[in-house]
Amino acid sequence: MVPADRREETADQLQPGETLLASFEPDLDHRLSYAPGLIVLTDRRVLAREPEGTAAPRWQSWPLTASVSLRTVEHGGAGTLELVDAGGRLAYWRYTSGRGTAAQRLAQKLVGWRARAGGNIDAPAMAVCPSCGAAINAEDGRCAACEAGPAKPSVSALVRLAVFARPRARLIALGFVLTLASTTAGLVPPYLTMPLLDKVLIPYQNGKSADFSLAYWYLGGLVVAAFLAWVLDWGRLYVLARVSERISADLRARTYAHLQRLSLEFFGGKRTGDLIARVGNDTERLCNFLSLNLIDFGTDILMIVMTAIILLSIDPLLALAALCPFPLIVWMVYRVRGRLLRGYRQAGAAWGAMTSVLADTIPGIRVVKAFAQESREIERFEVSNERVFQSANRLNRVWSLFGPTVTLLTTGGLLVVWAFAIWRVSHPPYITVGVLTAFLAYIARFYTRIESMIRMVSAVQRASASAQRIFEILDKSTSVPEPVRPIHPGRLSGRIELRGVRFKYGAREVLHGLDLTVEPGEMIGLVGPSGAGKSTLINLICRFYDVSAGAIFVDGADVRSFPVEEYRHNIGIVLQDPFLFYGTIAENIAYGRPDASRAEIIAAARAARAHEFILRLPCGYDSLVGERGQSLSGGERQRISIARALLINPRILILDEATSSVDTETEREIQAALENLIRGRTTIAIAHRLSTLRRANRLVVVESGRIAEIGRHDELLGARGSYARLHQAQMELVTGGSANGT
């Protein structure tokens, strides 16, 4: 809990009988310089050890009164842990964002301790596990998916799969009929052995009169039953496997489609690898469960029920003796299923975390190699891989004990049957050897099916954990909903009006009542310092997010009244770092219009000044660009993204730092392409290079989430306000750069 090198010093600060609850290590001082400290929470006080070199006493303490609480605030890559009471802030400590979860856990530990002690508490803010994205327990700061803890076993998520099974109800019914028929055929052979032994073989061996020709009829019956069981079993497996594959495919398609419709807010809190693991691995586990385990489970249930009926009809007393271990087995299943479900949830989270490492490092392999961090990434993967191993190993420990125990109980059941059967053979009411043989054959099948069904416990909990992870996605609703009474925008003219627009990221408001009107065909330049809210404003206009207050109107209608897809067909975006998909140049240009002809694609490429360099590629427009377009230069990727925007002929154009990361010559080419792109379109451009916005009709200066100034370049320079200061700072930077260059 407390770092080993500070345990003795911390213990000296504790009062007699004082209990240490938790600790946290802030790593910044009040000037945001690196300086490790220590905060200790006890059942009486909050203790803080200040960093070395500070004027404050090394140890300070504050008593835990009824109004004292801890809260965290994060902004700009750093966080603040505040100790507050009814009168305001008592103390605060700074930390880097990487320690944000630990700071939240300390605050929640105080809340949890007060809840147990019956103190007065407020509801804590929800914390999120950085490993798997699940909610962190407010009481102990632990993630239920990643750490051992109580978990409620449930197959309710599997029951929800019935929605996907409903369209295949006829095939499922056919599969059930085939299962019933094949199970019945499989129970016939032991029943035929009774008359074969009692009426033919045993009398014949003892020299008594017996019709030996009946043996051939019984043998024929055994052959027919075996053949029927084979045919019916083949049909059963084929039909039900086809149904399960179809259900799994539908589930995959539904999950991916739902992911596509979720807003950017959802993806901001998720790791790519975890989402890939859910759509890929978890649906594959469900497919295996439905196509293999569930079919066997249905057969096992039918076989157990029908065998029990036959056993009771043959000899009720012997059947009851055979069923003695069954209640104990059921009790063991009930006890172990919760641990299995929790284990599979942990395994799923660990697997998602490992996949996330791959999703981070493989696309970013150039950065890894540029900074010579191969060893670090190998170590990071090994840590994630070890977590996968440990979670699987915990499951194996449970299962390795449970499985053999069930086998021991079933073997004991067989011994009970043998002992009781021997007594029944030698004591009245007697049973025949044929009855005993058939009974033993049935009871062997009965216990074999029980062992098979017990193995289903593991499969059910694994599938249930996977289903829960998938339905966690399907249950998410987008924060950008479709309108109830939609207005179909058609071809917009592009008039944009912002009325009192406010927006919050969580509890932090970043836009504070913006009002702005952009006329059709007008070009607006957004300028301002980093973090002022420029990109947030563009995200709202594109409706990647919805405003927290106020409204955005396009052509006089609230954008929230437009169907999202129809509205975005009117918007073209050129980003600072254009994203290209794996595929050909032509496919990337035509991404927004897959039905575009080759002539239209070439015309867009010509207008974007991309045609010449495309023709120099080995296969021209059919050249593969590689994942994320890594085989092309930054300027080439940017011109392809401009061609992609040109091809859809948008009415509203968004330029987000489109020329900030290229050289001067490439910038000229891109600027020439942009002139073709912005002509006749409502354009909103973000640029830190103020020189790139000289063609703008107006410049809008955004500072701290508010509009500070609006005007043309010359007007704003003359006003000597925020824009003039930005311009002066850039001129000094350019002049200084030139001086340094000379």
CA angle centred on 72, ends 68 and 75, rounded to 5°? 150
pLDDT (tens digit per residue) in 454-475: 666 667 777 777 787 788 788 7
Q: Per-residue pLDDT for 160 more than 50?
A: yes
Domain annotation for the chain: domains and CATH numbers: 4-117 (2.30.29.30), 123-149 (no CATH), 157-474 (1.20.1560.10), 492-570+686-742 (3.40.50.300)
The predicted structure's pLDDT at residue 681: 84
Q: How far apart are CA 442 and CA 419, in angstroms?
A: 16
Span 490-509, mean pLDDT? Answer: 85
Q: Per-residue pLDDT for 736 more than 60?
A: no
Higher pLDDT, 378 or 336: 378
Span 345-356, mean pLDDT? Answer: 75
pLDDT tier, 498 (very low <50, low <70, confident <90, very high otherwise): very high
Helix axes 374-426, 433-474, angle to 10 degrees: 150
The predicted structure's pLDDT at residue 295: 66
Residue among 726, 732, 731 at smallest CA distance from 528: 726
Q: Per-residue pLDDT for 9 more than 60?
A: yes
The predicted structure's pLDDT at residue 156: 64
Higher pLDDT, 1 or 37: 37
Span 427-440, mean pLDDT? Answer: 72
Span 353-364, mean pLDDT? Answer: 74
Q: Per-residue pLDDT for 424 more than 80?
A: no
The predicted structure's pLDDT at residue 210: 64
Q: Is the peptide bond before 150 cis (omega within 30 degrees of 0)?
A: no
Q: Per-residue pLDDT for 122 more than 50?
A: no
Alpha-carbon Rg for the chain, nearest whole angstrom, is: 36
Span 394-404, mean pLDDT? Answer: 73
Question: What Å distances lie between residue 470 and 254, 257, 371, 458, 463, CA to CA?
Answer: 10, 12, 37, 19, 10
Q: H or E element: which one contains 88?
A: strand 88-96
Span 8-13, mean pLDDT? Answer: 83
Q: How far apart are CA 378 and CA 358, in angstroms?
A: 10
* Percent of the chain whose predicted confidence (pLDDT) is above 90: 1
The most confident of the ranges 268-282, 623-637, 639-653 is: 639-653
Q: How far apart are CA 575 and CA 570, in angstroms?
A: 16
Higher pLDDT, 524 or 197: 524
Q: How far apart are CA 415 and CA 168, in angstroms?
A: 45
pLDDT tier, 120 (very low <50, low <70, confident <90, very high otherwise): very low
Q: Per-residue pLDDT for 121 more than 50?
A: no
Question: What Å distances lie between residue 435 and 109, 197, 198, 318, 376, CA to CA?
Answer: 67, 9, 8, 11, 70
Q: How far apart are CA 119 and CA 356, in angstroms?
A: 40
Span 268-291, mean pLDDT? Answer: 74
pLDDT tier, 582 (very low <50, low <70, confident <90, very high otherwise): confident
| Lookup: tokens for 529 | 């310092």
Give every strand in the sheet of 698-703, ordered side by side: 571-574, 652-656, 682-686, 523-527, 698-703, 706-711
Q: Per-residue pLDDT for 129 more than 60?
A: no
Higher pLDDT, 618 or 361: 618
Q: Which of 106-115, 598-607, 655-664, 716-725 is the least confident region? A: 655-664
Span 522-528, mean pLDDT? Answer: 87
Question: What Å distances lie between residue 684 and 28, 523, 691, CA to CA?
Answer: 39, 6, 15
Question: Mean of the per-residue pLDDT values for the chain?
Answer: 76
pLDDT tier, 143 (very low <50, low <70, confident <90, very high otherwise): very low
Residue carrying the six token digits 């069923």: 323
The predicted structure's pLDDT at residue 553: 92
Span 104-125, mean pLDDT? Answer: 63
Higher pLDDT, 103 or 426: 103
Q: What SS3 state is found at 39?
A: strand
Q: pTM for the whole thing?
A: 0.56
The predicted structure's pLDDT at residue 497: 92
Q: Which of 383-397, 423-437, 670-684 is the least confident region? A: 423-437
Q: Per-residue pLDDT for 119 more than 50?
A: no
Residue among 125, 151, 150, 148 at smallest CA distance from 138: 125
Q: Which of 61-75, 124-138, 190-204, 685-699 is the least confident region? A: 124-138
The most confident of the ranges 51-60, 68-77, 545-554, 675-684 is: 545-554
pLDDT (tens digit per residue) in 176-217: 788 778 777 877 777 777 777 667 666 766 667 667 677 778
Question: What Å distances lie between residue 649 and 514, 642, 646, 696, CA to CA?
Answer: 28, 11, 5, 20
- Residue 224 makes CB contacts below 8 A (sequence gap 6+) with none
Span 304-325, mean pLDDT? Answer: 77
The predicted structure's pLDDT at residue 496: 92
The predicted structure's pLDDT at residue 138: 40
The predicted structure's pLDDT at residue 691: 65
CA angle centred on 271, ends 269 and 277, rounded to 5°? 130
